[in-house]
Amino acid sequence: MIDVETLRALIAYDAETGLLTWISRPESMFPQTGRGAASAAKAWNNKWAGKPALNSLRSDGYYEGRVFRELVLSHRAAWAIQTGEWPEGQIDHINHVRSDNRIVNLRVVPNAVNAKNMSRRRTNTSGVQGVYWHRAANSWAACITIDGKTKHLGLFGSVELAAAARRRAERRHGYHPNHGAAA
């Protein structure tokens, strides 16, 4: 893993916009000697300095890029540059927008906490996380996952009643207020 001070020497981070940009590199960062280092530095800086860094958009919505051939996720680099430390846990994008790397949108959390701030699945047909039509019972059902186990909250005559039961359970078990929102 690249040390944070090296990362800070290579990439600038704007905490308000979440954007990362390449910093102009001195000759000392290039392994060539003599005029070769000067030429390599000039060529690199002309091509990359001031341009977006780690801005390759993955299919899952995260940005990534390479630093000295090492793959780095943009949100983790943003955190490291801002705080001076690589994150120990997962980085949660509070608003569910994986490309929004503003520092106010990022927090380090364990996996169990990150799971309590998930976007609503695209396949969800009720419009509410954890609420679905139970065909056999001919009613709406609500459930919630606690410590990796699904807990059924009951059957309800309307989607609104099932959603209310789900929201109460989310508050009781410490789910983030954004949990289940559309991304």
CATH number at residue 87: 3.90.75.20
For residues 124 and 99, membership in a common domain is answered with no
Residue 66 bridge partners (DSSP): 71
For residue range 84-124, what is the model confidence (pLDDT) as tens digits?
Answer: 999 998 999 999 899 999 999 999 998 887 787 787 888 88
What is the C-alpha to C-alpha distance for residues 175 and 27, in angstroms, rounded to an integer?
A: 50
pLDDT of residue 52: 98
For residues 91 and 21, membership in a common domain is answered with yes
The two tokens of residue 30 are: 């290039």
Three-class SS state of 161: helix
Q: Domain containing 23: what range?
A: 4-113
What is the C-alpha to C-alpha distance for residues 64 and 6, in angstroms, rounded to an integer?
A: 17
For residues 102 and 27, membership in a common domain is answered with yes
Q: pTM of the prediction?
A: 0.78
Q: What are phi and psi of 65, to 5 degrees?
A: -175, 180
Using alpha carbons, select from 109, 113, 106 the residue that is nearest to residue 89. Answer: 109
For residues 67 and 85, membership in a common domain is answered with yes
Residue that wins the pLDDT comparison between 20 and 123: 20
For residue range 28-71, what is the model confidence (pLDDT) as tens digits?
Answer: 888 876 678 889 999 999 999 999 999 999 999 999 999 999 99
What H or E segment, with its residue span, contains residue 7? helix 4-10
Using alpha carbons, select from 59, 88, 87, 60 the residue that is nearest to residue 75. Answer: 87
What is the C-alpha to C-alpha distance for residues 46 and 89, in angstroms, rounded to an integer?
A: 36
Q: What are phi and psi of 47, to 5 degrees?
A: -85, -40
Calculate the CA 168 to chain-centre distance: 26
**Pairing relation of β-strands 149-156 and 139-146?**
antiparallel
In a domain, 179, yes or no: no
In a domain, 50, yes or no: yes
For residues 91 and 16, membership in a common domain is answered with yes
Average pLDDT over residues 6-14: 97
